[in-house]
């Protein structure tokens, strides 16, 4: 969902400015040679990757095979829920690598679906320090072992038609979704749309607890979410379409006439890049930020080939290829030297001034929270 070089979420003792300093320092580091196992190369074989839709193009996978001799089987999914359900159904077999968001990793580990990564075999020195630390602290490190190799970060914020629903940084808010002028032309996702409403109400002093407290305390979550749900249902008539994946979010603007929405950054970037008058902007409450990465399934059969795939991704040229094609921020050091002009322009527009300091990193979502948030989202959709 965007472009440019990575960052990570704010955690205690770790600030957004430190992340950006780490990124700047990483740009000056010469790329170390990727660690690709001789056994993986000599055996060639295959690696099976379960990835987000649109993340790895045919050209990218051909580049990996050309360099390693390893064939790639790619299967795509469109949401974290789809990914988790498929992994559970397969009992952590059938694929080698998956791509969970960091806040979901503890749940995979708790259910025995992921194996810890062999840090000796993966070139983590090629990851921007801020992204690696943010991934570890945001859920990717469990019980002192690293379960995820961070690949990218992105946000969910405001996509809007600059002609019909113009927004400006500093005043733009999640509350703009409910401007009567845009009634009937709004799109958002159920469960994250409720978080956006929550951040808006929190900013206005209308919630009894902070939104972060919702993720750690079930009673505080219910107290906040009862108010959030009431506000959401009151404004539901403004929504033209709910989305669950990238194609649906883009379709809301392309075919269903939406002029504003809470979407992933990739939605705004792709539509802008295609020539539509769509822009993407972080609101004053802070864009919702996530980090994703590669995880090794506990039933993986092609472990060395999977490690080779991760190390291939951790080269600057491939990290940039990934960012340029997907419009998502890569975690790879040196990739910024190979980014295209559009990526740079989009990033500057979406995150001006102090927007990076205000990014709202998703907290770890425990099983109880996911169950409750889905309950509230279903009540919202069914109202």
What residues make up the domain containing 61?
A: 16-153+289-361
Using a cut of 0.85, tell me whether the model's pTM lies above it.
no
- H or E segment and range at residue 102: none
Q: What is the pLDDT of residues 289-336, one digit of tens each?
A: 989 999 999 999 999 999 999 999 999 999 999 999 888 899 999 998
Residues in the chain with pLDDT < 50? 1-43
Q: What is the pLDDT of residues 100-118, one digit of tens each?
A: 999 999 999 999 999 999 9
- Residue 142's φ and ψ, nearest 5 degrees, are -130, 125
Same domain, 281 and 162: yes
Quote the pLDDT of residue 282: 96
DSSP 130-163: HHHHHHIIIIIEETTEE--EEEEEEEEEEEEETT
Per-residue DSSP letter, 236: G
Contacts of 166 (CB under 8 A, 6+ apart): 160
- Residue 261's φ and ψ, nearest 5 degrees, are -170, 160
Are the C-beta atoms of 295 and 100 separated by less than 8 Å?
yes
Residue 376 lies in a domain: no
Taking the CA of residue 43 as centre, how many other CA atoms within 13 Å lie in the half-sphere pointing to its CB? Answer: 14
Same domain, 148 and 293: yes
Same domain, 171 and 274: yes
Same domain, 94 and 34: yes
Q: How far apart are CA 261 and CA 253, in angstroms?
A: 9
Contacts of 305 (CB under 8 A, 6+ apart): 40, 43, 45, 46, 47, 68, 70, 96
Tokens of 383: 């109202």
User: How many domains would you assign to the chain?
Assistant: 2
Residue 8 lies in a domain: no
Of 264, 239, 212, give the one whose Cα is nearest residue 377. 239
Q: How far apart are CA 50 and CA 114, in angstroms?
A: 13
Quote the pLDDT of residue 120: 97
Quote the pLDDT of residue 361: 86
Residue 212 lies in a domain: yes
Domain harbouring 100, CATH code:
3.40.190.10
Quote the pLDDT of residue 357: 85
Q: How far apart are CA 343 and CA 328, in angstroms?
A: 9
Quote the pLDDT of residue 44: 61
Domain boundary among 287, 310, 334: 287
Q: How far apart are CA 24 and CA 6, in angstroms?
A: 10
Quote the pLDDT of residue 20: 31
Quote the pLDDT of residue 37: 43
Are the C-beta atoms of 361 and 346 separated by less than 8 Å?
no
| Helical spans, DSSP H, in the chain | 16-27, 38-43, 58-68, 80-89, 105-110, 129-135, 190-203, 211-214, 218-234, 246-254, 265-273, 303-313, 316-326, 341-350, 367-382
Same domain, 206 and 217: yes
Same domain, 132 and 216: no
- Residue 310's φ and ψ, nearest 5 degrees, are -60, -45
Residue 6 lies in a domain: no
Residue 103 lies in a domain: yes
Same domain, 270 and 303: no
DSSP 158-190: EEEETTTS---TTT--GGGGG-GGGTT-EEE-H
Query: How many other C-beta atoms can be found within 10 angstroms of the C-beta atom of residue 189?
Result: 22
Residue 76 lies in a domain: yes
């Amino acid at each position: 969902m965007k472009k440019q070089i990575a960052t990570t979420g704010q955690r205690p003792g770790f600030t957004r400015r430190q992340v950006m300093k780490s990124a700047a320092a990483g740009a000056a580091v010469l790329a170390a040679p990727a660690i690709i196992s001789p056994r993986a190369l000599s055996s060639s074989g295959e690696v099976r990757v379960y990835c987000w839709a649109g993340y790895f193009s045919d050209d990218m996978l051909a580049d990996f095979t050309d360099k390693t001799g390893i064939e790639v089987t790619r299967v795509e999914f469109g949401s974290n829920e789809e990914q988790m359900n498929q992994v559970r159904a397969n009992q952590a077999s059938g694929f080698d690598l998956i791509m969970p968001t960091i806040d979901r990793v503890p749940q995979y580990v708790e259910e025995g679906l992921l194996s810890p990564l062999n840090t000796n075999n993966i070139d983590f020195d090629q990851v921007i320090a801020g992204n690696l630390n943010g991934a570890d602290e945001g859920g990717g490190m469990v019980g002192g072992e690293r379960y995820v190799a961070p690949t990218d970060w992105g946000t969910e914020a405001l996509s809007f038609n600059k002609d019909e629903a113009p927004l400006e940084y500093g005043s733009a808010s999640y509350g703009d979704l409910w401007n009567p002028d845009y009634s009937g032309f709004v799109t958002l996702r159920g469960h994250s749309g409720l978080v956006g409403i929550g951040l808006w109400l929190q900013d206005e002093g209308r919630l009894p607890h902070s939104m972060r407290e919702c993720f750690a305390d079930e009673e505080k979550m219910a107290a906040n979410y009862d108010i959030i749900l009431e506000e959401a249902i009151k404004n539901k008539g403004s929504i033209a379409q709910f989305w669950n994946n990238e194609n649906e979010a883009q379709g809301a603007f392309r075919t269903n006439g939406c002029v504003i929405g809470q979407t992933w950054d990739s939605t705004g970037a792709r539509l802008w890049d295609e020539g539509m008058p769509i822009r993407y902007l972080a609101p004053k409450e802070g864009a919702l930020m996530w980090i994703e990465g590669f995880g090794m399934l506990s039933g993986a059969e092609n472990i060395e080939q999977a490690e080779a795939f991760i190390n291939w991704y951790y080269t600057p040229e491939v990290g940039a290829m990934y960012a340029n094609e997907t419009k998502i921020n890569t975690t790879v050091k040196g990739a910024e030297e190979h980014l295209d002009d559009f990526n740079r322009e989009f990033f500057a527009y979406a995150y001006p001034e102090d927007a990076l300091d205000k990014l709202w990193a998703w907290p770890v979502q425990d099983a109880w929270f996911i169950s409750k948030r889905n309950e509230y989202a279903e009540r919202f959709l069914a109202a």
